[in-house]
Structure 1
């Protein structure tokens, strides 16, 4: 598996929030975001899309889980009342590029935590990100970005 460590910058984002069990509705939120972004001519080869599960489904009831489908926008992009806006703090992340399939995602999670433990890291208290840049969307790839800090 392809794992690297990367420092992500602070991102200004526009997002669509889905509340409920994680699953197919997350894709619907991402499609709604992409339709908005397409109308604003924000979908380009350098666009960064993020999927941000805000809650741990092991500790949060499924009906209360929040998922944000996000697009990184420029600091000077004008405010737009038709969509939510926010900010994601940057930091150090383990980046794992995978095929965007259930099997590959499960395999990645089975390998990420031993990697953290074996390399002197633990998860930081920030959201885990799914990152999609440019061609990744077309080719069904994504990057799982896990926030880390030294043990």
Structure 2
């Protein structure tokens, strides 16, 4: 993974709607994201400004696969009227924001897996410290159009 694809960003706190998937990470995460996108499309939230976030809540090295939680999220406007009668299992929450190192990577299963495998040792080798928050996957239309996505790594100082 190339460090030149990395930059710092202060992500703002945001309201989110999300679908939670519990179980082994993989194809079920994609299903959760698809369910979220169906709901978001119905609510007219999928537009050129949409920001989708995947949040793996647990480390599969220390959490049994059947207990791993993945949240497929979309940032929602502050004035969005959250309707619970949509027919979808949608939750609402808050993304806390914070300081992140952003890596732009290929939006493929192989690209994401390679980044996950190489990112932490590379950060440590460069002297960065991770914050105790989940690494997130960020999906924005302008990057998805180029078959790219972002891994956002929380850092405490740099």
What TM-score do the two structures reach when normalised by structure 2? 0.88
1:67 pairs with 2:74: no
- Could you tell me whether the CA contact under 8 Å between 1:128 and 1:145 is conserved in 2? yes
- Could you tell me whether the CA contact under 8 Å between 1:92 and 1:148 is conserved in 2? yes
Segment of structure 1 superposing worse, 65-74 or 135-144: 135-144
- State how far apart, in whole Å, the 2-side matches of 1:111 and 1:60 are: 20
1:57 pairs with 2:51: no
What's the CA shift for 1:112?
2.4
Q: Which segments of 5 or more consecutive residues in structure 2 lack a partner in the other structure? A: none
What's the CA shift for 1:110?
4.3
- Could you tell me whether the CA contact under 8 Å between 1:120 and 1:150 is conserved in 2? no
Give CA-to-partner distance per residue, 1:19-67, whole Å, 9 cap, x none.
1000001000000000000001110011000000000001111001000
2:134 to 127, 130, 136: 127
What's the CA shift for 1:121?
1.8
1:17 pairs with 2:20: yes
Larger fraction in strand: 1
- State how far apart, in whole Å, the 2-side matches of 1:22 and 1:118 are: 27
2:120 to 104, 113, 119: 113
Gap change, CA 1:56 and 1:114, over 3 Å in 2: closer
SS in 1 for 2:83: coil
What TM-score do the two structures reach when normalised by structure 1? 0.92
